[in-house]
C-alpha cells in the first residue's frame, strides 16, 4: 500500500462531495462539500491536504455502461488534472450514493436532513472502496483519465 493521503471528489450538479484519507490510506473521512464546478475550492483542499492522488467518482450504469453523467465526470477529472499537479484516477462509484444514504439513515438521519452531507458521504464511500481495493490488489484501482 502506498503511503500518502488521498482526496476523493464526487462531482454533482449542485455540489462536489469531498473525502480525505489518513496518511496510511486506511480510513476515508468526509469533508464539507464544495460548490459544483468550483475548481479554485478544489485547489484549496488539495493545497491543504497535499495528497498522493485525487480520486474522482465515475458514475457507471448498473450494467457497466457510461452515460452522460460519466462523460461529465471524465471531463471534470480532466479539468482537475489540468488545474493541479496531483495525479487523478477515475474510480467506479456505482451505488455509492445508495450506500451513503443507507449509512446516514442508520444514524437516524432522513434524506431531507442529510441532503448537504450525501455528496461527501458518497465521496467517502468511493474513497474507502479505492483504499480497500488497493490494499487487496496491491495496485491503485480505477483508471487515469485520458489527456484531452
72, 123, 132, 135 from 138: Cα distances, Å: 29, 22, 10, 5
Residue range 88-101: average pLDDT? Answer: 71
Q: Identify the DSSP state of 139.
A: S
Q: For the chain, what are the domain ranges?
A: 6-136
The answer to whether the CB of 87 falls within 8 A of the CB of 54 is yes
Encode pLDDT of 17-59 as tens digits.
999 999 999 999 999 999 999 999 999 999 999 999 999 999 8
Q: 22-52: string of b/e by CB count within 10 Å (b at 16+)?
A: eeebeebebbebbeebebeebeebbeebebb
pLDDT of 148 strictly over 70 = no
Question: Over the Cα atoms of the chain, what is R_g?
Answer: 14
Residue range 87-105: average pLDDT? Answer: 69
CATH 3.30.420.140 is the classification of domain 6-136: yes
Q: Which pLDDT score, from 0 to 100, does residue 121 have?
A: 87
The answer to whether the CB of 75 falls within 8 A of the CB of 132 is no
Amino acid at each position: 500500500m502506498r503511503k500518502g493521503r488521498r482526496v476523493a471528489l464526487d462531482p454533482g450538479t449542485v455540489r462536489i462531495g469531498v473525502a480525505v484519507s489518513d496518511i496510511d490510506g486506511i480510513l476515508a473521512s468526509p469533508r464539507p462539500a464544495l460548490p459544483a464546478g468550483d475548481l479554485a475550492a478544489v485547489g484549496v483542499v488539495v493545497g491543504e491536504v497535499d495528497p498522493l492522488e485525487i480520486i474522482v467518482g465515475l458514475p457507471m450504469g448498473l450494467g457497466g455502461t457510461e452515460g452522460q453523467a460519466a462523460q461529465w465526470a471524465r471531463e471534470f477529472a480532466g479539468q482537475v488534472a489540468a488545474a493541479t499537479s496531483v495525479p487523478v484516477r477515475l474510480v467506479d462509484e456505482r451505488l455509492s450514493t445508495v450506500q451513503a444514504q443507507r449509512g446516514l439513515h442508520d444514524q437516524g438521519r432522513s434524506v431531507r436532513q442529510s441532503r448537504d452531507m450525501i455528496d461527501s458521504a458518497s465521496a467517502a464511500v468511493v474513497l474507502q472502496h479505492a483504499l480497500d481495493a488497493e490494499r487487496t490488489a496491491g495496485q491503485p484501482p480505477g483508471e487515469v483519465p485520458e489527456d484531452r
